[in-house]
Structures are given as C-alpha cells and as structure tokens.
Amino acid sequence: MTTAKRDTYTPETLLTVAVQVFIERGYDGTSMEHLSKAAGISKSSIYHHVTGKEELLRRAVSRALDELFGILDEEHARVGSAAERLEYVVRRMVEVLMAELPYVTLLLRVRGNTGTERWALERRREFDHRVADLLRAAAAEGDVRSDVEVRLATRLVFGMINSIVEWYRPDGLDGRGGSGGAGEREVVDAVARLVFGGLRKAS
C-alpha cells in the first residue's frame, strides 16, 4: 500500500526531481506518470505547479543557460586581452558545469524535438559563437595559435569541457571510481592547463 505524500513541493524542488528523471529516462521517455511517481505526488498536484513537462524542461535548461551567459557579463570576461578573457571564460564554464551539474547535463542532452528543445539548442549555439568570437579575437591579437581553424578549435575545447558531465560527481564518489577523487579546483586547473598549454611539457 502506498500513501500519497503530502504536496510540499515548490516549483523549485519539483524541478530538482524532474531533472533527475529527465536525465535517467531521457526527456522524450518521461511521462507525467513517471514524474508523479518520482515526486510521490499526484499528476494534478504537478499541474498545480506547472503546465506540463515542457515547462519543467524550459525552467531546467534556462537555469543552465542563464548561468553560462552570466559568465560573459562578468568583469574578467569583459576586461583584459582576449586571451585572458578566454581563459577566464573557460575556467568559469567548468565551474558552472560542476556547480549546476544536472542542469548542464540536461542542456547538453537536448535533442530538438520540441519548441523548447529547439530554443535551447539555438541558445547553446549562440553561446558557442560568443566563445568562438573570443578565440578569434585572441588569435587576431597573436596570443593564440592560428593553425587550427577557430570553429574547429571551439568545438574541440567545448567537447573536452562538456565531457566532464560524463564522469564528474560532486562527492568524488560515484561507485565506479568516477571522478577518481578529483576536486573542483583540480578539474578547473587541469582543463585550463590542457586547453591552453596542451600535454607537452613547456621547454
């Protein structure tokens, strides 16, 4: 026998549960029934908070996107040489990814089947372009190599950063030796070192 849990959710706490379910089952594979079961409240209680699962997706990816775009407004992303600003943005991207892990994970898995998903993909592309512009400016200022095409370099750097969602776990323990105990600071430094200096030892 199951006892219906009293609905003590706010849109925010409901979002936390929904994001977890979306990540586990995929957004397409999640029904209101799944959300209701995971939250332990009735479907109509969920509808009391939101219009449906698409609103939950929109709130979740908005949170990730707002944090990412917020980086570009920070002082160190606006002042200094393009190379310095780029390094700041790369470091902050890694920090945001780790701090907002489930939200960024969901954002990165968006496919584009619904209006909200297409909007999220468009915003992601816009963010990518902003970072590519910074890379282009750093190359023009002569601080960044120009023998790798900007768009390709951006894709590869984003690829490295975004892959962190596959293994980073805040507690350093994911039961499979996941993060291998790497702390937040260590990951940020490692990415900055590899992205800017590569593996080769400075001679």
Distance (Å, whole) CA 31 – CA 28: 8
Of residues 4, 129, 163, 170, which one binds its own copies by CB under 8 A? Answer: 163
The smaller minimum CB distance to its own copies, of residues 67 and 87, is found at: 87
CB neighbours of residue 31 within 10 Å: 13
Within positions 15 to 44, which residues make up the interface with its own copies, using CB under 8 A? 26, 29
Helix axes 115-140, 150-162, angle to 10 degrees: 120
Of residues 7, 50, 160, 184, which one binds its own copies by CB under 8 A? Answer: 160
Within positions 34 to 93, which residues make up the interface with its own copies, using CB under 8 A? 83, 86
Quickly list DSSP for 25-58. H-STT--HHHHHHHHTS-HHHHHHH-SSHHHHHH
The smaller minimum CB distance to its own copies, of residues 56 and 86, is found at: 86
Query: Binding string, 176-195, against its own copies, x = CB under 8 A?
Result: ----x-x---xx-xxx-xxx
Distance (Å, whole) CA 167 – CA 170: 10
Distance (Å, whole) CA 58 – CA 56: 5
Rule CB under 8 A: which residues touch its own copies?
A: 26, 29, 83, 86, 135, 138, 142-149, 151-153, 155-164, 166-167, 180, 182, 186-187, 189-191, 193-202
